[in-house]
Chain A
Amino acid sequence: MNEEIITPALEVHDLTVAFDRKPVLWNIDLKLPEGKLVGIIGPNGAGKSTLIKAVMGLLPLSSGYVKLFDHPIDEVRKKISYVPQRESVDWDFPASVLDVVLMGRYGKLGLFRRPRKADYDVALDCLKKVGMEAYINRQISQLSGGQQQRTFLARALAQQADIYFMDEPFAGVDAATEKAIISLLRTMTEAKKTVIVVHHDLQSVTQYFDWVLLLNTRLIACGPTATTFTQQNLQETYGGKLTLLSDVGDLIRREHFPNREGVIKQPKTI
């Protein structure tokens, strides 16, 4: 459906993900080029978060495989950064903003080692980039939603990765901050980083993203915004409930069917 991408940053092949046997993502097949700002668009419950989690290897796959920079994810973890949905953690946790941002350095540090001075420098720098330098020592339980979001963003930046997955990074962020963050993401893509963002506001899609990925349980379309973000594709993504697909999913759960016969596992690369 999209033109051939020679060196994809992300390749998803025939991916199916199920909860309690009911598939919420069916046969996703896609490739994303390097150095683009990519929007994942779709209604609530479309499986956007599930797609990101599956790509990051946080969920078991019913079928298919995922490759990043032509490698299975476990070989390239250090190049990958993740901003989870803000509600996915309990913010009433004894930690400061700086503590959370330093977590972005743990992957590079490895087990047992404490953050070094250089790691603090990176963390402070990233906090400045998202305009949170005034809140370094603030308890995370006392942050507003937008500030929590920016803290997570700074943590992801501190990973200094090559590809970033961000799950609704603009939820609860005011318009001015959203603009600032987008221009920050722009400078990152100019430096050849790939940034993949789950986004809700259809108004700003053409303005923000180079590529879009339209998703509603199955992949509707994936390609450059200009040619992909069309009225017809949107109609297909948001219009028409997928009752048939959902009914079949329920059936699979009730009847204890396997999702696939002969599951295709991630191919081994040496």
Chain B
Amino acid sequence: MRTYTVQRVPSVSGRVRTGATLLSCLASVLAAGLLLALLGLHPAALGLQVLHQSLANRYGLEDLALLAAPLAMCGLSVSLMLRVGLWNIGADGQFFVGAAGAAWIGLYGPSWSTLPMLALMGAASMTAGAAWIAVPALARLILGTSEIITTLLLNFVARLGIDWLVTGPWRDRASSVTAQSPRLPVAIPKLPRDWHLGGMHWGLAVVLALACVLALAFRFTRWGYELRICGANRNAASYAGMAVNRRLLEAMLLAGAVAGLGGMLELAGTVHRLQSGLSNGYGYVGIIVAVLAASSPLGVVVTGVLMALVLNAGTVLQTQGVPSSAAVALVGLILLSAAVGERLANYRLQRIPPAPRPGQAA
């Protein structure tokens, strides 16, 4: 007779971990399909429709890219801090504040030509995002306050601040919409038409370039190595003579700047006006993007696209009478099963050797 037992193994290779993540994504999509089937819909047909609408024509691809870009920026921001073992729950707030910084330059700044103007707006957004996380960062380093709570709370402050700006001082008085700023005089140019990405703007290239730069920096610089050690064991990092607090501060400020830049790209590339609907919870989905990618910058690009696909599916489902919150539920389901999958990757099913005949042991 054969019996099996479940056994924990102390460490798993990266490949096994990636496989576990992929399997759990698949499992949650299947579970979602099952739910849809129970609702009397045809999950396979719906799935095909989602894929068709998102991938098979230029408008679908454009939508996908437009959604994936901010998700990837927030994902990069979160993964920067994950490198040193810290959680950035506040990418959403930094995204908004970055957009506000860029809008301020766009509306009230100099009137230069497009490129220098965009560069200045980018710099302003990064400064604003970094400044927004500076308070939680310093609180963490000086007082030991948990950055999870402080960065999260500042999201609400940021959102309320934007609400106030766009209904008050920066409100567009020429339009009948009460909660948005005037249209910015500059916009990020569109990609060439024959690239088949529809009306996607050059911000996409910025996202990809940033992901590549971060990936190279993590792997091929001393700074990246130091971040890795700081994330794995801070005692060992300071024993080895690294400036641990400085590295943590740099990672946090940079994370804020990246999320802020994401806000600027969204503002100047897609929305063109500051408004409180600028981020659709991108900062929060960014956490999932980073976790699924195991905080690898290139992985973030992939998982960003995946999450965009899931959110797009929500739009398609809406046309079938499924509430739009279904997509959010699916995102949650994916995160949940990825977390479970990561734990389970540590376990193996193992055959127990047959019991000895009585007397053999004596």
Q: Do A and B come from one complex?
A: no
Interface residues of A (CB under 8 A from B): none
